[in-house]
Chains A and B, each alone.
Chain A
Amino acid sequence: SQTIHQWPATLVQPVGSPLSLECTVEGTSNPNLYWYRQAAGRGLQLLFYSVGIGQISSEVPQNLSASRPQDRQFILSSKKLLLSDSGFYLCAWNQKNYGYTFGSGTRLTVV
């Protein structure tokens, strides 16, 4: 069966520090991968999506970047965090004929 792992579950980071959130998918190959952010009191915003290794599309300009070094690995990064980067980050995957599956999320607090 397909599973998605996302870590860490919670993270507190100082302003200006780097960020790396990792998401891995098991039990499937060549999935579409997504990073969403949910800011406090707001809905879900699509940040990045990837249809294959090394292929990243950015939905909104921001302080973050994403990479896909392996087929089932999707990484969200920042060189210097801002206070406004705080939020709940969700990784998701899907394939044709499969619905979306979301990870359990990472709650990031930038202090």
Chain B
Amino acid sequence: GDSVTQMEGPVTLSEEAFLTINCTYTATGYPSLFWYVQYPGEGLQLLLKATKADDKGSNKGFEATYRKETTSFHLEKGSVQVSDSAVYFCALADSWGKLQFGAGTQVVVTP
């Protein structure tokens, strides 16, 4: 079945550092891909999405490109802030429209 694999955390960075969180997927067909963010004590918020190959999703300085050839959707941000500390989930919408999530990656940004 469809699945998502993302790098394990926690990832600890200093403010203004470059962030990359790797995400790869296995799916039949052409799923839509998402990154969600969960701030401490809160639910999930959609960060960005891409619906077809080579699409780039972007929001709040974060970017991810849908790479069909490598089945990847890596999340990047050029300069992180303390407020970016959160858990980040990569997800795909399978052929039935259900979201399948990766295990989540905790990111800790220190001043």
Residues of A within 8 A of B (CB): 6, 32, 34, 36, 38, 42-46, 49, 90, 92, 94, 96, 99-100, 102-105
Contacts and interface: CB of A to CB of B under 8 A. Distances in A.
B46 A100 contact: yes
A34 B42 contact: no
A46 B49 CA distance: 19
Interface string B93-108: 0000111111110000
Contacts of A96: 97
A38 B100 CA distance: 13
B17 interface: no
A100 B44 CA distance: 10
Contacts, number: 43
30 contacts: A6-B43, A32-B97, A34-B98, A34-B99, A38-B104, A43-B89, A43-B101, A43-B103, A44-B44, A44-B89, A44-B104, A46-B98, A46-B99, A49-B98, A90-B43, A92-B44, A94-B97, A96-B97, A99-B34, A99-B46, A100-B34, A100-B46, A100-B99, A102-B36, A102-B43, A102-B45, A104-B42, A104-B43, A105-B42, A105-B43
Contacts of A99: 34, 46, 49
B47 to A, nearest CB: 11
**Which secondary structure dominates chain A's binding surface?**
strand
Contact of B101 (A44, A49, A94, A104): A44
Contacts of A38: 104
A90 B89 CA distance: 14
B17 to A, nearest CB: 24
Contacts of B89: 43-44
B104 A43 contact: yes
